[in-house]
Amino acid sequence: MTERAAVKAVLKTQAVETPSWAYGNSGTRFKVFAQQGVPRDPMEKLDDAAKVHEFTGVAPTVALHIPWDTVDDYAALARHAEDRGLRLGAINSNTFQDDDYRLGSVCHPDASVRRKAVDHLLECVDIMDATGSKDLKLWFADGTNYPGQDDIRARQDRLAEALAEVYERLGDDQRMLLEYKLFEPAFYTTDVPDWGTAYAHCLRLGPKARVVVDTGHHAPGTNIEFIVATLLREGKLGGFDFNSRFYADDDLMAGAADPFQLFRIMYEVVRGGGLSGDVAFMLDQCHNVESKIPAIVRSVMNVQEATAKALLVDRDALGAAQRAGDVLGANAVLMDAFSTDVRPLLREVREEMGLDPDPMAAYARSGWAEKIVAERVGGEQAGWGA
């Protein structure tokens, strides 16, 4: 198999999960912006996600967010997904929107609030059982705003206790993915602020606990590809959430702010065997001013382009330059791959998969955008609950 054929083979097996909430209304902290044709229930979210997969061929799963995607019959929801060529992916918990969680959820000083939060997480595992989902995605907004507000160490003990209870509830083929975030909404301390804290908890829990890296959840200048490389080396990278940021957690389209960073990250994913392993790659984005489905299609394409460039890195030449201490030569190898126009290659990949070579144009011609605007009249549009 030629190098080009090998790269194309990997690209055909790539999978990027899309989030149900990206298809609903979203906005800034000041306003949720409504758009015409937005889904009114989880079924319609899956209908839209099916279009993304139809035109990209690499978005076969959809993550759910509870309670935003609560339904009476989760098995029926899973069948609805299957009927549209999809599967249900990670189940994302929500312990940050109830008034009870003003001072935290699993780290709250009140045991009754902690119990409520843990019961919700256990409910999410029940939903995993019903949907066939393998991953429980956990992100906690827990933290403090003022020095002395709470006992920092005690909050870590409460977190560990809650995670341990949920971990014990997981099935043999289920995983817990723990996400971290530098700040927001807490401004003094965040209870899971970085990859080291998440890694420490996951290491204590066991092999079914892994760390999630989100592109937007770091301090400016953080070398995210180093974190990815380290977690892959330790076998503890469970998921990666794609988005872009200019300042903080902007949740813009993947690759929009810094395509070179996305390429560098994907090179470490390729180098560390992440594409052939069990890392769950997902878009974690909310599209506020742009149309939902085209933005998601474009994001998937951006991830594909970064991956293709990462696969084209001449690793033999790179290794030789590194061993020789040829600093500029090694950098040039990476830059050559990044500068490669991989769009013709990806067009070939799509054609060989029986897809239109231009997913954006294909979606525009499909009439789906006009169809959902005309048909989704009445009811309550889905949103992120803000």
The pLDDT tens digits of the residues spanning 124-176 come to: 999 999 999 999 999 999 999 999 999 999 999 999 999 999 999 999 999 99
Tens of pLDDT, residue by residue over 256-269, are 999 999 999 999 99
Q: Domain extents for the chain?
A: 3-375
Taking only the tens place, the pLDDT of each residue in 222-248 is 999 999 999 999 999 999 999 999 988
* 91 bridge partner residues: 64, 136
Backbone angles phi, psi at 107, to 5 degrees: -105, 5
Residue 377: burial class (beta carbons within 10 Å; 0-12, 13-18, 19+): exposed
**Positive or negative CA dihedral for 183, 96, 157, 123?**
negative
The Cα–Cα gap between 70 and 48 comes to 18
In whole numbers, what is the pLDDT of the chain averaged over residues? 96
Residues near 153 by beta carbon (within 8 Å), at least 6 away in sequence: none
Cα 336 from Cα 299, distance rounded (Å): 23
Does 249 score more than 90 pLDDT? no
Pairing between β-strand 189-190 and β-strand 143-144 as defined by DSSP bridges = antiparallel
Distance CA 82, CA 76 (A): 10
Q: Tell me the percentage of the chain whose pLDDT exceeds 90.
A: 91
Q: Which CATH number fits domain 3-375: 3.40.50.300, 3.30.365.10, 1.10.3720.10, 3.20.20.150?
A: 3.20.20.150
Q: What is the pLDDT of residue 1?
A: 66
Instruction: Supply the pTM of this predicted model.
Output: 0.96
CA dihedral 246, 247, 252, 253 (to 10 degrees): 30
